[in-house]
Amino acid sequence: MAMKLYDLDVSGNCYKVRLLCALLDLPVELVPVDFMSGAHKQSPLIDLNPFGQVPVLEDGNLILRDSQAILVYIARKWGGETWLPTDPEPMARVMQWLMVAENEIPRGPGDARLHDKFGMKLDIAAAREKAALILELMERHLQDRDWLALDRPTIADIACMPYVALGWEGGVPLGPYPGVSSWVERIKQLPRFIGMPGCEGSVPCPA
Amino acid sequence: MAMKLYDLDVSGNCYKVRLLCALLDLPVELVPVDFMSGAHKQSPLIDLNPFGQVPVLEDGNLILRDSQAILVYIARKWGGETWLPTDPEPMARVMQWLMVAENEIPRGPGDARLHDKFGMKLDIAAAREKAALILELMERHLQDRDWLALDRPTIADIACMPYVALGWEGGVPLGPYPGVSSWVERIKQLPRFIGMPGCEGSVPCPA
């Protein structure tokens, strides 16, 4: 039985799960969530995920929330040692960037997009400032590296890419960050890559 | 050669690393960082961690930032399968809570403490509201469980406990959350437990 993903097409967090499944050529049944009517805050979804967020993954009896935790699950179950190695050092290197995907990236480019694209009330100046901080850090980090954590793509790249690539929808384009921009393009060149609205595989991110 | 931890005594993020080392009976050399004079934003520390934060762990040639990633490293290197199992399902269950330790807990009780104890300028009403949300979720989750992720203590508990237990320093006491409070006490009863200022092993958290 295929995994079920409770999904929202414009969510970068849902997209990263869809993307990893595509890269691994894994079947996944998408269950669209009617976000605008608040379905994620009501039964039956709130019973699956009391945090009231998407994505939610269902694999048999297992229910998982949080996109980073879901990437870890899929990588460990079907990705061998490739996408998330289990040796302490490489695993910790991947973890460092999964935490950036959970913290600095949503607080920066993620929040800026929520404000501009979805009208969420938040401190947009603070979000843009945080976006600049994390993008400068990533730019320096990627100066002499192709991938964030290891010498190959891992779930660190999959976790961090979406809201960085979508930043232009929140007034945070990648023009000033050529290293980050090239890294996004490298991900788009991976076999079986799929895009999402605002981050299509066939076009570069707006500069 | 023992690991080196660049450390700040009042940091819950540094404390969680010290605590895991104590529970595992691992030697670790503490290097106190002069936070008040901004040593973490200057050379040599900023060269070790461009994010300008503590803790930073040095183990031989390996330098790691982010407390959750450091817990993963230590658990994988010295904790066997006990503190962070590598099977997909239990690992993902631990990850879900490591992500809460990186996101909801610092944005809630963590930020409230930064405001009240250290005078950081931030939206204290929003921080207290987020604190109530995550503590209510944890309270419900812990109603029929002793530990957050599995049927035994894992790094999920170590990662989430400090800023929850220190919440009273930010006007977020645990009185309304008896399940959370009991969980903190269970952690304090673990063999070789060590406390920190505001979260001593010998006294319950202020209600």
pLDDT, position B207: 80
Strands A62-65 and B28-32: unpaired
Enter the tokens of residue A171.
């007034």
> How large a percentage of chain B has pLDDT more than 90?
92
Distant-in-sequence, close-in-space partners of B89: CB < 8 Å, separation ≥ 6: A62, A73
A116 membership: H or E segment, kind and range: helix A111-118
B55: preceding bond cis by omega (within 30 degrees): yes
Which residues does chain A have within 8 Å of residue B68's beta carbon, measured at their own beta carbons? Answer: 95, 99
Which of B51, B66, B163 to mutate to probe the A interface, most A CBs <10 Å? B66
CA–CA gap between residue A180 and residue A176 (Å, rounded): 9
- Give the closest-approach CA distance of A191 to chain B in angstroms: 24
Which residues make beta-bridge pairs with B111? none
Residues 28-87 of A with CB under 8 A from B: 50-51, 62, 64-66, 68-70, 72-74, 76-77, 86-87
Q: Which of B65, B86, B89 sits opposite A96 (nearest CB)?
A: B65
**Interchain CB distance below 8 Å, A92 and B70:** yes
Output the average pLDDT for chain B: 96
A153 CB-contact burial (10 Å; exposed 0-12 / middle 13-18 / buried 19+): buried
Among A73, A96, A100, beta carbon nearest to B92: A73
Residue B70 has φ and ψ, to the nearest 5°, of -65, -40
Q: What angle do CA B116, B70, B11 make, to 5 degrees?
A: 20
pLDDT, mean over chain A = 96
Across A29-56, average pLDDT: 93
Could you tell me the pLDDT band of residue A1, with boundaries at 50, 70 and 90?
Answer: confident
Distance of CA B177 to the CA centre of its chain: 19
Q: Side chain identity at A95, as an amino acid letter?
A: M
Q: Is B133 on the interface with A (CB under 8 A)?
A: no
**Which pLDDT tens digit goes with each residue over A135-156?**
999 999 999 999 999 999 999 9
Residues ≥6 apart with Cβ < 8 Å to B52: B40, B41, B45, B46
Nearest CA in chain B to A133: B51
| Chain A residues close to B92, C-beta within 8 Å | 64, 69-70, 72-73, 76
pLDDT at A12: 98
Helix axes A124-141, A178-188, angle to 10 degrees: 80
Q: Are A158 and A23 in contact (CB under 8 A)?
A: yes
Average pLDDT over residues A48-75: 97
Do A68 and B92 make contact, defined as CB atoms within 8 angstroms? Answer: no
pLDDT at B111: 98
DSSP character for B196? Answer: B
Specify the residue for token string 């040692």: A81
Residue A20 pLDDT grade (very low, low, confident, very high; cuts 50, 70, 90) = very high
B167 vs B128: CA distance, rounded Å: 10
The pLDDT tens digits of the residues spanning A91-147 come to: 999 999 999 999 999 999 999 999 999 999 999 999 999 999 999 999 999 999 999
**Averaged pLDDT, B175-195:** 97
Query: What are the pLDDT digits (tens) for B85-132?
Result: 999 999 999 999 999 999 999 999 999 999 999 999 999 999 999 999
Does the pLDDT of residue B205 top 90, yes or no? no
Complex confidence, ipTM: 0.97
**B59 pLDDT more than 90:** yes
Question: Testing the interface with B: which of A65, A71, A72 to mutate, by most B Cβ within 10 A?
Answer: A72
Choose among A64, A91, A100: nearest Cβ to B92.
A64
Q: Which of B158, B151, B166 is nearest to B187 (CA)?
A: B158
Burial-class residue B67 by CB neighbours within 10 Å (0-12, 13-18, 19+).
buried
CATH of domain A3-78: 3.40.30.10
Kindly tell me if the per-residue pLDDT of B203 is higher than 90.
no
The secondary structure of residue A106, as a DSSP letter, is I
| Domain segments of chain B as ranges | 3-78, 88-188
- Under the phi-then-psi rule, with left for phi > 0, alpha for psi from -120 to 50, and beta for the rest, what region is B80? left
- Beta carbons within 8 Å of A150's beta carbon, 6+ residues apart: A85, A90, A93, A94, A156
B68–A99 C-beta distance less than 8 A = yes
- What is the mean predicted confidence (pLDDT) over A181-187? 98
The matching CATH number, chosen from 1.20.1050.10, 2.60.120.380, 3.30.70.270, 3.40.50.80, for B88-188 is 1.20.1050.10
Q: What is the pTM of this model?
A: 0.97
pLDDT greater than 90 at residue A207: no
CA distance B203 to chain A (A): 31
Q: Which residue is associated with the tokens 């959370």?
A: B180
Describe the strand order of the beta sheet including A3-7 as a list of residue ranges.
A28-32, A3-7, A56-59, A62-65
Helix, strand, coil % in chain B, rounded to nearest 5: 55, 10, 35
Residue type, B170: G
Residues counted in chain A: 207
The larger pLDDT score, comparing residue B206 to residue B140, is at B140
Whether B76 and A91 lie within 8 Å, measured CB to CB: yes
